[in-house]
Structure 1
Amino acid sequence: MSSSSSDENDEIEERLDDIIEYFIDEIYDDIVEAEPIPQRTRSYTERHREGGQHQLSNDYFNDDNFNDDHSIYSIQTFRRRFRMNKGLFIRIVDGLEQFFPFFQQRKDATGRWGLTALQKCTAAIRLLVYGKSADTVDEYLRL
């Protein structure tokens, strides 16, 4: 009796070893011989950042002295929209650009120039003034 039960146990162990070996071989083959996963490429959406800078300059800052001589919007409109005069705004932009790398225009990973300090500050200040989401200032940022 003990020899037959021992034979049965040996047979069961052999079968289990075969099954385990089969599954290990299958898993190994799946891992090692698997076809490489093709790399997904990221899609690129043209944002026309330069167009946003150009539009911003034309709307509010169209001459070298940042006067209102050639700008589309008046000084009063600027003051109402930004809650400060243009001179203070320009000093803020210059200070942020000088002391904080985030506000400095840099090239991105594709080698294209990012947003200018004027665009970033315009967005930040308008967000603070109106307390709304970034979508509301997208006209100059081209997010």
Structure 2
Amino acid sequence: MLTADLRKDSEIWEMKEEYLRRPTTEDLQRLLDIGEIRGFPGMVGSIDCMHWEWKNCPTAWKGQYTRTLNDINVFDRSPIFDDILQGRAPRVQYVVNGHQYDMAYYLTDGIYPKWSTFIQSISLPQGPKAELFAKVQESTRKDVERAFGVLQSRFAIVKNPAILWDKKQIGMVMRTCIILHNMVVENERNGYTQYDTSEFEEGTSTRSSNVDAPNTSEMPPNLANMLLIRTHLRDRQLHERLKNDLVENIWNKFGNDEDE
């Protein structure tokens, strides 16, 4: 059993380098281009949480893995911003409504905090601009919900409660399913890509979002720099300004369509 587990871990690790890797600079630029086409310059995707119920979860651990969806406590344990804090993440710059920003963001639902890296919908939109923004944001954010739905429909093992006792095995099963899912997506991508970014690549249109590889020759970040970046991540005023600029950008891009 030990030998078999080690072999499985080795196989997963080999595939992880390709199918669970961080986005490259080229990947991020493609995501930024798609975000710009959809009216969200600087957006690199949507973020959400999917809980997989553990049927035989030990009593002492209950509550850690069985809370409500989108649980902010799950996000608190997430390493998603570690690369930014450590200075390893590619640098992103983009312009919205005439204002320049230097940190990419995700579309989220209302449970996430009002940070400069999260853009929520407007729960009670007042006026045509706010209503259009809420409509476009919620429509765009459905991508992540569809992704979880496809994952669960494709692999029944993650749709039903897990009955494995070993937490390590549960993690291995989930990683394996995600790797297989990403392999399928890569194989079928050209068949269902909805957004043509060739206008940016061919230079016929000027992109307002750009990404540069990090300068690896820089000194490692010290605590003061990390705290400064952390403050920037959690800047509520910056969040509000970016959101207002995005409301205007969505209106300028799609407002005429609503009037017709």
Task: Establish whether TM, by shorter chain, passes 0.5.
Answer: no
Larger strand share, 1 or 2: 2
State the TM-score, normalized to the length of structure 2. 0.14
State the TM-score, normalized to the length of structure 1. 0.22
* Bigger relative CO (Cα 8 Å, ≥ 6 apart): 2
The structure that has the greater radius of gyration is 1
